Amino acid sequence: MYGASDPAAAERTAFRRAEKQYKRYKPAKLKGASRPALREAAVTSRRWLTSTRCLRPTGSCPPGSAGATAPGSTAPCSASWTGRRNYDVSLPHKKIPDALASLAKNMAIPAMPFGEEFKPEAAIVNYYGPSDMLGGHVDDMEADWTKPIVSISLGCKCIFLLGGKTRDEVPTAMFLRSGDIVLMAGEARERFHGVPRIFTESNQQEISALVSQLSGEDDCFILDYIKNSRININIRQVY
Protein backbone atom coordinates (compact mmCIF):
# COMPACT_ATOMS: atom_id res chain seq x y z
CA MET A 1 0.00 0.00 0.00
CA TYR A 2 2.45 2.65 1.18
CA GLY A 3 5.82 0.93 1.09
CA ALA A 4 8.21 0.23 -1.76
CA SER A 5 10.32 -2.89 -2.21
CA ASP A 6 13.31 -0.73 -3.15
CA PRO A 7 13.25 2.65 -1.32
CA ALA A 8 16.29 3.92 -3.24
CA ALA A 9 14.60 3.22 -6.57
CA ALA A 10 11.37 4.84 -5.34
CA GLU A 11 13.30 8.06 -4.69
CA ARG A 12 14.16 8.26 -8.39
CA THR A 13 10.62 7.86 -9.71
CA ALA A 14 8.51 10.55 -11.39
CA PHE A 15 6.00 10.48 -8.54
CA ARG A 16 8.67 11.06 -5.91
CA ARG A 17 10.16 13.92 -7.91
CA ALA A 18 6.70 15.51 -8.09
CA GLU A 19 6.26 15.10 -4.33
CA LYS A 20 9.50 16.98 -3.70
CA GLN A 21 8.57 19.66 -6.24
CA TYR A 22 5.14 20.36 -4.79
CA LYS A 23 6.33 20.13 -1.20
CA ARG A 24 8.20 23.36 -2.00
CA TYR A 25 5.30 24.89 -3.94
CA LYS A 26 4.65 28.57 -3.24
CA PRO A 27 1.56 30.46 -4.47
CA ALA A 28 2.22 32.97 -7.25
CA LYS A 29 1.20 35.90 -5.04
CA LEU A 30 4.22 35.36 -2.83
CA LYS A 31 7.42 37.11 -3.87
CA GLY A 32 9.95 34.90 -5.58
CA ALA A 33 7.49 32.03 -5.88
CA SER A 34 8.04 29.16 -8.25
CA ARG A 35 4.66 28.02 -9.44
CA PRO A 36 4.19 24.73 -11.30
CA ALA A 37 0.82 24.37 -12.98
CA LEU A 38 -1.98 22.98 -10.83
CA ARG A 39 -5.50 22.07 -11.81
CA GLU A 40 -8.68 22.81 -9.93
CA ALA A 41 -10.10 19.52 -8.68
CA ALA A 42 -13.61 20.91 -9.05
CA VAL A 43 -13.24 21.22 -12.81
CA THR A 44 -10.98 18.25 -13.47
CA SER A 45 -13.03 15.71 -15.40
CA ARG A 46 -11.85 12.14 -15.93
CA ARG A 47 -13.63 8.86 -16.48
CA TRP A 48 -12.00 7.68 -13.27
CA LEU A 49 -12.13 10.85 -11.17
CA THR A 50 -15.11 12.91 -10.04
CA SER A 51 -14.97 15.91 -7.72
CA THR A 52 -17.78 17.89 -6.12
CA ARG A 53 -17.28 21.26 -4.41
CA CYS A 54 -18.71 22.87 -1.30
CA LEU A 55 -20.46 20.00 0.44
CA ARG A 56 -20.49 20.24 4.22
CA PRO A 57 -20.60 16.76 5.79
CA THR A 58 -21.40 16.54 9.48
CA GLY A 59 -21.00 13.86 12.09
CA SER A 60 -17.39 12.95 11.30
CA CYS A 61 -14.83 12.08 13.97
CA PRO A 62 -13.48 15.40 15.34
CA PRO A 63 -9.95 15.82 16.71
CA GLY A 64 -9.70 14.34 20.18
CA SER A 65 -12.62 11.95 19.75
CA ALA A 66 -12.45 8.18 19.81
CA GLY A 67 -10.60 7.03 16.74
CA ALA A 68 -8.52 10.20 16.44
CA THR A 69 -4.75 9.84 16.08
CA ALA A 70 -1.68 12.01 15.85
CA PRO A 71 -1.36 14.35 12.84
CA GLY A 72 -0.35 12.61 9.65
CA SER A 73 -1.58 9.17 10.66
CA THR A 74 -4.74 7.25 9.91
CA ALA A 75 -7.51 5.82 12.03
CA PRO A 76 -10.81 4.07 11.26
CA CYS A 77 -14.29 5.00 12.44
CA SER A 78 -15.83 1.66 11.56
CA ALA A 79 -13.61 -1.26 10.57
CA SER A 80 -10.07 -1.11 11.94
CA TRP A 81 -6.94 -1.05 9.79
CA THR A 82 -4.02 -2.72 11.58
CA GLY A 83 -1.15 -1.82 9.26
CA ARG A 84 -0.86 -5.49 8.28
CA ARG A 85 -2.67 -5.00 4.95
CA ASN A 86 -6.05 -6.13 6.22
CA TYR A 87 -9.00 -4.80 8.18
CA ASP A 88 -9.44 -6.29 11.66
CA VAL A 89 -13.08 -5.87 12.66
CA SER A 90 -12.38 -7.59 16.00
CA LEU A 91 -10.70 -4.40 17.26
CA PRO A 92 -12.80 -1.72 18.99
CA HIS A 93 -14.57 0.52 16.50
CA LYS A 94 -17.59 2.78 16.22
CA LYS A 95 -20.45 2.88 13.76
CA ILE A 96 -20.01 5.42 10.97
CA PRO A 97 -22.37 8.35 11.74
CA ASP A 98 -25.59 8.17 9.75
CA ALA A 99 -25.11 11.61 8.15
CA LEU A 100 -21.63 10.66 6.93
CA ALA A 101 -22.80 7.28 5.63
CA SER A 102 -25.70 8.90 3.79
CA LEU A 103 -23.41 11.47 2.18
CA ALA A 104 -21.02 8.74 1.03
CA LYS A 105 -23.85 6.71 -0.49
CA ASN A 106 -25.11 9.71 -2.46
CA MET A 107 -21.66 10.71 -3.69
CA ALA A 108 -20.84 7.15 -4.77
CA ILE A 109 -23.89 6.80 -7.04
CA PRO A 110 -22.12 7.86 -10.30
CA ALA A 111 -19.53 5.10 -9.84
CA MET A 112 -21.87 2.28 -8.83
CA PRO A 113 -23.40 -0.29 -11.20
CA PHE A 114 -27.08 0.36 -11.86
CA GLY A 115 -29.23 -0.98 -9.05
CA GLU A 116 -26.36 -1.38 -6.55
CA GLU A 117 -25.95 0.78 -3.46
CA PHE A 118 -22.60 1.74 -1.96
CA LYS A 119 -22.08 0.22 1.52
CA PRO A 120 -20.01 2.49 3.82
CA GLU A 121 -18.14 -0.13 5.86
CA ALA A 122 -14.96 1.72 6.88
CA ALA A 123 -13.96 5.36 7.35
CA ILE A 124 -10.26 6.14 7.56
CA VAL A 125 -9.38 9.58 8.93
CA ASN A 126 -6.10 11.28 7.99
CA TYR A 127 -4.95 14.20 10.14
CA TYR A 128 -2.41 16.62 8.64
CA GLY A 129 -0.41 19.19 10.58
CA PRO A 130 1.45 22.12 8.94
CA SER A 131 4.42 20.04 7.73
CA ASP A 132 2.71 16.67 7.25
CA MET A 133 2.37 14.87 3.94
CA LEU A 134 0.96 11.57 2.70
CA GLY A 135 3.34 9.69 0.43
CA GLY A 136 2.29 8.17 -2.87
CA HIS A 137 0.35 4.94 -2.45
CA VAL A 138 -2.41 2.76 -3.88
CA ASP A 139 -5.45 1.87 -1.75
CA ASP A 140 -5.39 -1.90 -2.15
CA MET A 141 -6.83 -3.13 1.15
CA GLU A 142 -10.40 -3.70 0.00
CA ALA A 143 -11.65 -6.99 -1.39
CA ASP A 144 -13.57 -5.40 -4.28
CA TRP A 145 -11.81 -2.63 -6.19
CA THR A 146 -14.84 -2.03 -8.40
CA LYS A 147 -16.38 -0.06 -5.52
CA PRO A 148 -15.32 3.60 -5.20
CA ILE A 149 -13.66 5.48 -2.35
CA VAL A 150 -15.40 8.68 -1.25
CA SER A 151 -12.78 11.16 -0.02
CA ILE A 152 -13.84 14.31 1.89
CA SER A 153 -11.55 17.28 2.56
CA LEU A 154 -11.99 19.56 5.59
CA GLY A 155 -9.73 22.35 6.78
CA CYS A 156 -6.72 23.88 5.06
CA LYS A 157 -6.27 23.65 1.30
CA CYS A 158 -3.85 21.02 0.02
CA ILE A 159 -2.14 19.80 -3.13
CA PHE A 160 -3.34 16.38 -4.27
CA LEU A 161 -1.28 14.29 -6.69
CA LEU A 162 -2.97 11.68 -8.87
CA GLY A 163 -0.54 9.52 -10.80
CA GLY A 164 -0.58 6.34 -12.82
CA LYS A 165 -0.42 2.65 -12.10
CA THR A 166 3.31 2.89 -11.36
CA ARG A 167 5.41 5.53 -9.63
CA ASP A 168 7.20 6.11 -12.94
CA GLU A 169 4.23 8.00 -14.40
CA VAL A 170 4.14 11.77 -13.87
CA PRO A 171 1.17 12.67 -11.61
CA THR A 172 -1.39 15.40 -12.14
CA ALA A 173 -1.39 18.02 -9.37
CA MET A 174 -4.57 19.75 -8.23
CA PHE A 175 -5.89 21.79 -5.31
CA LEU A 176 -8.36 20.32 -2.83
CA ARG A 177 -10.19 22.78 -0.59
CA SER A 178 -12.36 22.41 2.47
CA GLY A 179 -15.65 20.87 1.36
CA ASP A 180 -14.25 19.19 -1.76
CA ILE A 181 -15.19 15.56 -2.30
CA VAL A 182 -13.19 13.31 -4.62
CA LEU A 183 -14.69 10.08 -5.88
CA MET A 184 -11.93 7.58 -6.63
CA ALA A 185 -13.45 5.03 -8.96
CA GLY A 186 -12.65 2.79 -11.91
CA GLU A 187 -9.03 3.10 -13.00
CA ALA A 188 -8.32 5.57 -10.18
CA ARG A 189 -8.48 2.69 -7.69
CA GLU A 190 -5.25 1.39 -9.22
CA ARG A 191 -3.42 4.72 -9.40
CA PHE A 192 -0.82 6.15 -7.05
CA HIS A 193 -1.91 9.27 -5.21
CA GLY A 194 -0.74 11.39 -2.31
CA VAL A 195 -0.68 14.79 -0.59
CA PRO A 196 2.72 16.53 -0.53
CA ARG A 197 1.63 19.86 0.97
CA ILE A 198 -1.08 21.67 2.91
CA PHE A 199 -1.43 25.46 3.13
CA THR A 200 -1.67 26.92 6.64
CA GLU A 201 -0.80 30.51 5.70
CA SER A 202 -3.78 32.73 6.57
CA ASN A 203 -4.10 34.05 3.00
CA GLN A 204 -3.95 30.55 1.48
CA GLN A 205 -6.05 28.35 3.80
CA GLU A 206 -9.39 29.05 2.05
CA ILE A 207 -11.47 27.89 5.01
CA SER A 208 -13.83 30.86 5.41
CA ALA A 209 -16.93 28.79 4.58
CA LEU A 210 -16.01 26.23 7.23
CA VAL A 211 -15.07 28.87 9.81
CA SER A 212 -18.46 30.55 9.37
CA GLN A 213 -20.12 27.34 10.56
CA LEU A 214 -17.98 27.10 13.70
CA SER A 215 -19.56 29.89 15.71
CA GLY A 216 -20.91 27.84 18.60
CA GLU A 217 -19.65 28.16 22.13
CA ASP A 218 -18.07 24.71 22.01
CA ASP A 219 -16.48 25.18 18.58
CA CYS A 220 -13.45 27.20 19.67
CA PHE A 221 -11.08 24.24 20.05
CA ILE A 222 -12.11 22.88 16.64
CA LEU A 223 -11.60 26.32 15.09
CA ASP A 224 -8.12 26.65 16.58
CA TYR A 225 -7.21 23.21 15.27
CA ILE A 226 -8.62 23.57 11.77
CA LYS A 227 -6.77 26.84 11.08
CA ASN A 228 -3.50 24.91 11.04
CA SER A 229 -4.62 21.48 9.91
CA ARG A 230 -6.37 19.40 7.29
CA ILE A 231 -8.67 16.46 7.90
CA ASN A 232 -9.40 13.89 5.22
CA ILE A 233 -12.19 11.35 5.71
CA ASN A 234 -12.28 8.56 3.15
CA ILE A 235 -15.17 6.12 3.21
CA ARG A 236 -14.84 2.65 1.73
CA GLN A 237 -16.83 -0.47 0.99
CA VAL A 238 -14.50 -3.17 2.28
CA TYR A 239 -16.26 -6.38 1.24
Residue ranges covered by each domain of the chain: 7-25+35-236
Residue 200 — pLDDT band, cuts 50, 70, 90?
A: very high
pLDDT digits (tens, 9 = 90+) for 219-231: 888 888 999 999 9
Per-residue pLDDT, 196? 96
**Mean pLDDT of the region 208-236:** 89
**Mean pLDDT of the region 203-221:** 86
Q: Which CATH superfamily is domain 7-25+35-236 in?
A: Alpha-ketoglutarate-dependent dioxygenase AlkB-like (2.60.120.590)
The per-residue pLDDT of the chain, averaged, comes to 77
Q: Binding residue per annotation — 180?
A: no
**Mean pLDDT of the region 4-32:** 77
Residue 134 — pLDDT band, cuts 50, 70, 90?
A: very high
pLDDT digits (tens, 9 = 90+) for 55-76: 323 333 333 332 333 233 333 4
Q: Binding residue per annotation — 93?
A: no
Range in 42-46, 158-162, 168-172 with the lowest mean pLDDT: 42-46
Is residue 122 a contact partner of residue 79, using CB atoms and an 8 Å limit? yes
pLDDT digits (tens, 9 = 90+) for 110-124: 999 888 999 999 999
- Show the CA angle centred on residue 50, arms to residues 47 and 52, nearest 5°: 160
